Amino acid sequence: MSVRLTPRLCRAARALAGLEQKDLASVSGVSKSTIGAFEIKNESARLATMNNRALVEAFERSGLQFIPENGGGPGVRLREPIGSRRSKELSLDQIATTKDA
Protein backbone atom coordinates (compact mmCIF):
# COMPACT_ATOMS: atom_id res chain seq x y z
CA MET A 1 0.00 0.00 0.00
CA SER A 2 1.30 3.44 -0.89
CA VAL A 3 0.97 5.79 2.08
CA ARG A 4 0.88 9.54 1.64
CA LEU A 5 1.64 11.07 5.04
CA THR A 6 -0.24 14.10 6.26
CA PRO A 7 1.08 16.21 9.13
CA ARG A 8 -1.50 14.71 11.51
CA LEU A 9 -0.76 11.12 10.42
CA CYS A 10 2.96 11.76 10.82
CA ARG A 11 2.48 13.11 14.36
CA ALA A 12 0.23 10.16 15.25
CA ALA A 13 2.69 7.60 13.89
CA ARG A 14 5.61 9.26 15.66
CA ALA A 15 3.71 9.29 18.96
CA LEU A 16 2.64 5.65 18.60
CA ALA A 17 6.21 4.62 17.77
CA GLY A 18 7.47 6.60 20.78
CA LEU A 19 9.92 8.61 18.69
CA GLU A 20 11.04 12.19 19.22
CA GLN A 21 11.54 14.24 16.05
CA LYS A 22 15.32 13.94 16.45
CA ASP A 23 15.04 10.15 16.76
CA LEU A 24 12.85 9.89 13.68
CA ALA A 25 15.34 12.05 11.79
CA SER A 26 18.15 9.74 12.84
CA VAL A 27 16.47 6.49 11.73
CA SER A 28 14.85 7.88 8.56
CA GLY A 29 17.55 10.15 7.17
CA VAL A 30 15.03 13.01 6.90
CA SER A 31 16.21 16.15 8.70
CA LYS A 32 14.63 17.16 12.00
CA SER A 33 13.85 20.59 10.55
CA THR A 34 11.94 19.00 7.64
CA ILE A 35 9.96 16.78 10.02
CA GLY A 36 9.20 19.68 12.39
CA ALA A 37 8.14 22.02 9.60
CA PHE A 38 5.93 19.36 8.02
CA GLU A 39 4.20 18.42 11.29
CA ILE A 40 2.97 21.98 11.93
CA LYS A 41 1.51 22.52 8.44
CA ASN A 42 -2.14 22.13 7.51
CA GLU A 43 -3.50 18.79 6.40
CA SER A 44 -3.14 19.48 2.68
CA ALA A 45 0.67 19.71 3.02
CA ARG A 46 2.72 17.03 1.31
CA LEU A 47 6.33 15.87 1.63
CA ALA A 48 8.69 15.23 -1.25
CA THR A 49 8.23 11.62 -2.41
CA MET A 50 11.70 10.60 -1.20
CA ASN A 51 11.11 12.02 2.31
CA ASN A 52 7.62 10.51 2.49
CA ARG A 53 8.99 7.08 1.59
CA ALA A 54 11.87 7.34 4.09
CA LEU A 55 9.51 8.27 6.95
CA VAL A 56 6.95 5.57 6.12
CA GLU A 57 9.70 2.94 5.96
CA ALA A 58 11.12 4.09 9.31
CA PHE A 59 7.67 3.88 10.91
CA GLU A 60 7.13 0.41 9.45
CA ARG A 61 10.52 -0.77 10.76
CA SER A 62 9.49 0.51 14.19
CA GLY A 63 6.52 -1.86 14.18
CA LEU A 64 3.70 0.29 12.78
CA GLN A 65 1.17 -0.53 10.09
CA PHE A 66 -0.67 2.10 8.08
CA ILE A 67 -4.40 1.58 7.50
CA PRO A 68 -6.06 2.67 4.25
CA GLU A 69 -8.98 5.09 4.27
CA ASN A 70 -11.68 2.46 3.64
CA GLY A 71 -14.32 5.16 3.97
CA GLY A 72 -13.23 6.31 7.41
CA GLY A 73 -9.94 8.09 6.87
CA PRO A 74 -6.38 6.78 6.97
CA GLY A 75 -4.80 5.63 10.19
CA VAL A 76 -1.88 3.92 11.85
CA ARG A 77 -1.67 1.09 14.36
CA LEU A 78 0.79 -1.33 15.92
CA ARG A 79 1.52 -4.25 13.60
CA GLU A 80 1.40 -6.74 16.50
CA PRO A 81 -1.13 -6.80 19.35
CA ILE A 82 -0.10 -5.09 22.58
CA GLY A 83 1.59 -7.57 24.88
CA SER A 84 2.87 -9.78 22.09
CA ARG A 85 6.58 -10.44 22.03
CA ARG A 86 7.08 -8.43 18.83
CA SER A 87 5.16 -5.34 19.99
CA LYS A 88 7.85 -4.46 22.52
CA GLU A 89 9.57 -1.14 21.87
CA LEU A 90 12.53 -1.37 19.54
CA SER A 91 15.65 0.62 20.30
CA LEU A 92 16.79 3.27 17.82
CA ASP A 93 19.75 1.02 16.97
CA GLN A 94 17.38 -1.85 16.13
CA ILE A 95 15.24 0.37 13.91
CA ALA A 96 18.29 1.78 12.13
CA THR A 97 19.89 -1.68 11.79
CA THR A 98 16.73 -3.07 10.20
CA LYS A 99 17.00 -0.27 7.63
CA ASP A 100 20.39 -1.50 6.51
CA ALA A 101 19.40 -5.18 6.33
Ranges of each domain in the chain? 7-100
Entry pTM: 0.81
CA distance 58 to 72: 25
Closest by alpha carbon to 99, among 68, 62, 72? Answer: 62
7-100 in CATH: which number? Answer: 1.10.260.40
Give pLDDT, residue 87.
Answer: 42
Give pLDDT, residue 93.
Answer: 72
CA angle 73, 77, 81 (to 5 degrees): 140
Give pLDDT, residue 71.
Answer: 72
* SS3 state at 25: helix
Of the two residues 28 and 93, the one the predictor is more confident about is 28
